[in-house]
Structure 1
Amino acid sequence: MALLHRADLTPSKLELLNAWLPTRSWYTGPAEPDLAKVGAFRLDDPAGAVGVETMLVRAGDGPVLQVPLTYRDAPLAGAERWLIGTTEHSVLGTRWVYDAAGDPVYAAALATIILTGAGQAVEEFEVDGVRQARANELQATGSGRAGAAVPAVTGVLRVADTDPTLIATDSLNLTVIRVLTDDPAVPDGAPTLTATWPGSVTARLLACAG
């Protein structure tokens, strides 16, 4: 479950990404994009300390891009390379926003949803002390099975910041597709994460493990 806040962010997530995306080798859009949000979903951090969100964005009529993010209340030691920027949250204060490829909390959450066949986190707001679920038209689902063993991920060892992005952790390897296409290459038999959203004709591959 992801508890969200009705809050203002300065700068906004899209403003941060407008500046950051053109610095990525796998981005081929305009130098000054005006990104639109296609959809987003959350993953659970069991400790409840780190926000984990995957955003799907598009520049004009370009392809849909996958940008996983983590939100922290303090800098992540040794992760300066993955810092996208900071934003002021009107409820939580300063938040450090990271490209989640370099964050072990994201790697652990991604491995869990892929290998256990789970869905994304339920998103809730608290209004006058009452929790209210927020509907999400984007649905992300892992291909694994309920109750499957998930290797513990405690560190990210290497990241190939390409498309696809390859994340080597201390227990398994993960692949994250950045530019979403209709027919990405998937290793035979690899457990996957796919998603659908309004306007998508078929489920799109987001990530795989193995």
Structure 2
Amino acid sequence: MALLHEATLSPRKDELIGPWMATRSWWDGESERAPVGSFRLDDPAGEVGMECFLFGSASGSTLFVPVTYRGAPLPDAETGLVGTMEHSVLGTRYVYDACVDPVFVATVLDTIRSGGRHADLLVRRADGTEVVREANATAEGEGVPSVPRHDPGLPVIAQDQSDRTTIASADVDLTVMRRLGEGPPGPALTGSFEGGTDLRLVIVSG
């Protein structure tokens, strides 16, 4: 269960992530773009927020952009910092490209291995009441017990390419499909939203 707070953000997520996307090698050059779905993954330790966006356009690719939210900087991950934003409840949040965040890598591998799914969303309102929010995108692991684990305390190395990002760790390599398409073979985290189903988002490639 991912606990969300009813809050104001400055800058907004789209204001922060949009300009950053345009600097990436996997950017397709389509400026008229907006989020078409998102889902959350749940950090068992409850420390790191993980939100995975699908950005669509009328004529370009659908882009997959996972980010993590942290209350303090992630050591040795400056190149993966998207930016910071002020959260009216939680204070300063450091927003990272999730591909450089070992907690994201560990969580995705656990989800693929166990056949888990996206986190349910619980919103805590300003008056303290809580309400369940339906996600507008879903994700599910294929359930492959042989998929290795990753220690969330160990760093990972991410490398952007023209349509994907590869992640290397001591135990396993992952391919994150930035422009959604076929991708390499291997156990995967698959996603669905109103514009597509069974999309291979993150693939265990080594």
User: In structure 2, what is the equivalent of residue 13 of structure 1?
Assistant: 13
Query: Relative to structure 1, is the Cα distance of residues 48 and 148 closer, same or farther in structure 2, using a 3 angstrom cutoff?
Result: farther
User: In structure 1, what is the equivalent of residue 134 of structure 2?
Assistant: 135
Choose from 187, 192, 196 the match for 1:196: 192
Query: What's the % identity of the aligned pairs?
Result: 45
Secondary structure, counterpart of 1:18 in structure 2: helix
Q: CA deviation at 1:165?
A: 1.0
Query: Relative to structure 1, is the Cα distance of residues 63 and 149 closer, same or farther in structure 2, using a 3 angstrom cutoff?
Result: closer
User: In structure 2, what is the equivalent of residue 151 of structure 1?
Assistant: 149
User: In structure 2, what is the equivalent of residue 115 of structure 1?
Assistant: 113
Give the aligned residue type for 1:193. L
User: In structure 1, what is the equivalent of residue 55 of structure 2?
Assistant: 57
Secondary structure, counterpart of 1:20 in structure 2: helix
State the Cα deviation string for residues 59-113 of structure 1 (Å, max 9, x = none).
4532110011000111111110000101111111111100011010111111111
Q: CA deviation at 1:148?
A: 7.0
- Partners of 2:147 and 2:65 lie apart in 1 by 27
User: In structure 2, what is the equivalent of residue 67 of structure 1?
Assistant: 65
1:37 and 1:55 in contact (8 A); partners too: yes
1:39 and 1:138 in contact (8 A); partners too: yes
Secondary structure, counterpart of 1:24 in structure 2: coil
- Partners of 1:174 and 1:104 lie apart in 2 by 12
- Partners of 1:96 and 1:59 lie apart in 2 by 27
Unaligned runs of 5+ in 1: none
Q: CA deviation at 1:131?
A: 3.3
Give the aligned residue type for 1:205. R
1:18 and 1:34 in contact (8 A); partners too: no
User: In structure 1, what is the equivalent of residue 201 of structure 2?
Assistant: 206
Choose from 95, 98, 110 the match for 2:96: 98
1:156 and 1:167 in contact (8 A); partners too: no
Please, what is the CA RMSD of the aligned residues? 1.8
- Partners of 2:25 and 2:150 lie apart in 1 by 30
2:28 and 2:61 in contact (8 A); partners too: no
Q: CA deviation at 1:158?
A: 2.2
2:61 and 2:180 in contact (8 A); partners too: yes
Give the aligned residue type for 1:23. T
4+ residue runs of structure 1 moved beyond 3 angstroms?
127-131, 147-150
Report the number of matched residues. Answer: 202
Secondary structure, counterpart of 1:39 in structure 2: strand
Q: CA deviation at 1:130?
A: 4.2
- Partners of 1:8 and 1:85 lie apart in 2 by 16
